[in-house]
Amino acid sequence: MFIDASAIVAILADEPDGPALTSRLARNGRLYTSPLALYEAVLGLARSLRVPVAAAQSELDTFVTETGAEIIAINPAIGRIAIAAFERYGRGRHPAQLNMGDCFAYACARSLGVPLLFKGDDFPKTDIATA
């Protein structure tokens, strides 16, 4: 499963849907995320919890270690899938309204052939498998 920044923030910020997302993590095998998702999650967590970026980074480091999530590289093939995702599902083009981070989460999950763990109502409007 690929873990999107939105799911990470919901889990670490103890948002109402955090426990349900955490239970989905436990039901899956290998977990993946990317530097881009972690970047978004650090900034989102710092903003949500009103903590310094360094404190949010520390929380994310602990999350990655405890979950055993593998951080995958963003390679050219993933970049091309992200561009195609924007063409098909991007803001101003489709009701899913995917932004750049969403397009890369979609592309990472698609390239790995795994479902996507996320919070929100954008990805269900696409063809990506959801966790």
Query: CA–CA separation, 68 vs 128, rounded Å?
Result: 23
CB 17 within 8 A of CB 121: no
Q: And the tokens for 49?
A: 């919890």
CA–CA gap between residue 55 and residue 109 (Å, rounded): 28
Q: Which domains, ranges and CATH numbers included, belong to the chain? A: 2-120 (3.40.50.1010)
Mean pLDDT of 46-57: 97
97: left (phi over 0), alpha (psi -120 to 50) or beta: left
pTM of the model: 0.93
Q: How confident is the model at residue 27 (pLDDT cuts 50, 70, 90)?
A: confident
Confidence of residue 26 (pLDDT cuts 50, 70, 90): confident
Distance CA 9, CA 18 (A): 8
Report the amino acid identity of residue 34.
Answer: S
